Chains A and B, each alone.
Chain A
Amino acid sequence: MSLKVSDLSFSYGPKRALDAVTFEARSGKFTALLGPNGAGKSTLFGLLTRLFTSPQGVIEVAGQDLRSAPRAALAQMGIVFQQQTLDLDLTVRQNLTYFAALHGLSGRDARTRIDAALDRLSMLERAHEKARALNGGHRRRAEIARALIHQPKVLLLDEPTVGLDAAARAAITTHVHDLTQDHALTVLWATHLTDEVLPDDDVVLLHQGRIRATGPAQDLCGTQTLKDWFLSQTQAPA
């Protein structure tokens, strides 16, 4: 159950933001969508999450076409946005309960799933704290837990470590890598930070709205470090 994007293009007026983007994120794999700022990652996330749509291209989420079956596709998707989207005046549990209800889950079923999701992210003991009282790392964890409540097949994370300190960043990256393997999740993780990518992770390199390379990180960078490879690919003339 993967995420497939084919021939996806998008323009803001005359400005081409994405140009014939095609790639696949495989099940049970952590796929890093690597790209410098302005590469088109956020536009791609907007399209993947159907915040807006494009007449060109196909997005398939766990076998569901986002255009013809948007609700079935969205139901298979867990999303962590770059912006913080917790209601700070509500507790962690209230935030998660709200989200569960948006996915049609309520009562005991929702409670069980919320507990499991929080436990998975080591956040269960903080369930009764107000989101405002949490630090940035814990807020992010709560958001990841929230994205997993409905047991999605595909997890999308848009630069989830922005604004976090090194320790929180490492912890969250490790957590999501573990989740990918333990739950056969398809993870698409947008970032411009190469140290969040492990050698056997898949990489999709997006630069100036086009896919420049795809494949396992270790295969792409060869003898170089991933950081050097990334810089060489994105600093060269397009």
Chain B
Amino acid sequence: MTRYLPAFRAITTREALRFLHQRERFLAALVRPLVWLLVFAAGFRAALGLSITPPYQTYITYETYIVPGLCGMILLFNGMQSSLSLVYDREMGSMRLLLTAPLPRWFLLFSKLCAATFIGVLQCYTFLAVAWAFDITLPPLGYLTALPALILAGLMLGALGLALSSFIKQLENFAGVMNFVIFPMFFLSSALYPLWKMAESSELLHDICAANPFTHAVELIRFALYVDIAPWPLLWTVLATLVFMALAIWGYDPARGLVRRKG
């Protein structure tokens, strides 16, 4: 254990430092959801009528509805960003330094994942603070109860990023991830519109959205923000995290030889 703690601390600190060095990344991470919240949501407020469904106990504005989805969006982009930085690390060689440390590979990857999640959660709280300043408020206790949900959702999306990074051969291929992972995952979810609304237009789309792990991560955050637990999304998110993590560990297995591609 004495070997593990310094390594965990070092990996997370390095990721945090790297994030601090990239102020543009922080700004972009914040501006993106705020544009959705303050521009997109304002425009759609009139167009979309929302009925009272759990966890909401009263009519809510559209801005309020999409706050959990935008938290999910932050974590999704952050997960993919950390995946991008892993591919970059591999191309630049610093991944070799990490992978040749005398520690189990799963632990090294898990440490990276925790670091990425920590940064994602930090971004979420910054976003929630700005939203609060614009009078989009949540139950005070919700800010606290959302923490475990944000961490779990962050771990799930970070693990997805890790798994993807082990299959992306080159940095240039990353644009494909944007088109084929981020956008479908985000739009085919309950982030922007409730699933019952989706069912009104297409049963098939509704079913796809319902199977999307991102939907469950968003619902988990939504209920947690209202001091409530959603058992099914919780289970689904935990399962997806485990599957993505197992995929990442398999992808980085030395016998499979990920790094040898850059030989």
Contacts and interface: CB of A to CB of B under 8 A. Distances in A.
Contact of B260 (A12, A70, A98): A12
A97 B10 contact: yes
Contacts of A81: 93, 96-97
A133 interface: no
Contact of A53 (B10, B18, B100, B257): B257
B257 A83 contact: no
B255 A53 contact: yes
B197 interface: no
B263 A43 contact: yes
Interface stretch (B50-58, B101-109, B232-240): B101-109
A90 interface: yes
Interface stretch (A71-79, A180-188, A203-211, A227-235): A71-79
A46 B13 CA distance: 28
B25 interface: no
B100 A98 contact: no
A43 B11 CA distance: 27
B249 to A, nearest CB: 15
Contacts of B255: 52-53, 55
A225 interface: no
A51 B6 contact: no
Contacts of B4: 104
B202 interface: no
A104 B259 CA distance: 24
A52 B97 contact: no
Interface string B221-255: 00000000000000000000000000000000011
Given A46-B260, A50-B254, A51-B254, A106 B6 contact: yes
B171 to A, nearest CB: 15
Interface in B2-16: 2-4, 6-7, 9-11, 13-14
Contacts of B2: 104
Contact of B7 (A46, A75, A94, A104): A104
Interface in A41-67: 42-43, 46, 49-53, 55
Interface in A68-105: 70-72, 74-75, 77, 79, 81, 83-87, 89-90, 94, 97-105
B245 to A, nearest CB: 20
Given A83-B96, A104-B2, A74 B102 contact: yes
Contacts of B97: 81, 85, 99, 102
Interface string B70-109: 0000000000000000000000111011111111100000
B23 interface: no
Contacts of A102: 7, 10-11, 97-98, 101, 103
Contacts of B17: 89-90, 94
Contact of B259 (A12, A52, A90, A105): A52
A102 B103 CA distance: 8
Contact of B6 (A43, A89, A105): A105
Given A46-B263, A85-B93, A103 B100 contact: no
Contacts of B14: 87, 90, 98
Nearest to B104: A71
A225 B263 CA distance: 31
**Most chain B beta-carbon contacts within 10 A, residue among A55, A72, A102:** A102
B102 A46 contact: no
Contact of A85 (B6, B13, B96, B254): B96
27 contacts: A49-B96, A49-B100, A50-B99, A50-B100, A51-B99, A51-B257, A51-B260, A52-B258, A52-B259, A70-B102, A74-B100, A74-B101, A79-B100, A83-B92, A83-B96, A85-B96, A85-B97, A86-B94, A94-B17, A98-B10, A101-B11, A103-B3, A103-B101, A104-B4, A104-B6, A104-B102, A105-B6
Interface of A: 12, 42-43, 46, 49-53, 55, 70-72, 74-75, 77, 79, 81, 83-87, 89-90, 94, 97-106, 110
User: Which 7 residue pairs spanning A and B have beta carbons closest together?
Assistant: A104-B3, A83-B93, A101-B10, A52-B257, A102-B101, A106-B6, A75-B102
